[in-house]
């Protein structure tokens, strides 16, 4: 069975987005683990104050930019489109996280945090793509 000419770019597109997502997720989880271990983040399930959440927001922005950059770099064409798909997936995940966290505010921090993650998903994806195109 031969592959159609369009199947290969589609697989590369999916692979580019998935790779960017995996990189940003792994970096985020690893950073969370390290910050929990050294005490900059409280134990899981404990309320989180504004300071650590500002730090988490900062590194999530950096990792979102990196994930979008990688997505754009690996895209078979139209890097901005691929990065924005990455950003839309991040936005959807952020919305789902906000819905889950909203009623559990003390354990997941104040409401500004999930709102910030939603608002930053697309701009970080755009910036990651722009940084790739500027190279």
pLDDT in tens, 27-36: 999 999 999 9
CB 125 within 8 A of CB 90: yes
CB 83 within 8 A of CB 71: yes
Is residue 106 scored above 70 in pLDDT?
no
CA 126 remoteness from chain centre: 12
Does pLDDT of 110 surpass 70? yes
How far apart, in whole angstroms, are the C-alpha atoms of residue 23 and residue 16? 11
Instruction: Read off the tokens for 52.
Output: 């650590």
The reported pTM is 0.90
CA atoms of 15 and 110, how far apart (whole Å): 35
CA 80 to chain centre: 16
- For the segment 40-88, what is each residue's pLDDT rounded down to a tens digit? 998 887 888 899 999 999 999 999 999 999 999 999 999 999 999 999 9
pLDDT score at 48: 86
Instruction: Report the pLDDT value the prediction gives residue 29, as an integer from 0 to 100.
Output: 97
């Amino acid at each position: 069975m031969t592959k159609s000419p369009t199947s290969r770019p589609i697989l590369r597109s999916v692979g580019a987005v998935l790779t960017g997502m995996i990189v940003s997720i792994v970096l985020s989880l690893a950073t969370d683990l390290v910050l929990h271990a050294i005490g900059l983040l409280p134990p899981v399930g404990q309320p989180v104050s504004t300071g650590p959440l500002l730090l988490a927001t900062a590194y999530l922005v950096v990792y979102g930019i990196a994930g979008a950059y990688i997505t754009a770099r690996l895209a078979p064409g139209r890097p901005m489109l691929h990065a924005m798909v990455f950003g839309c997936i991040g936005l959807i995940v952020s919305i789902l996280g906000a819905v889950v966290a909203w009623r559990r505010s003390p354990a997941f921090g104040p409401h500004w945090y999930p709102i910030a993650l939603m608002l930053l998903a697309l701009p970080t994806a755009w910036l990651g793509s722009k940084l790739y195109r500027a190279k």
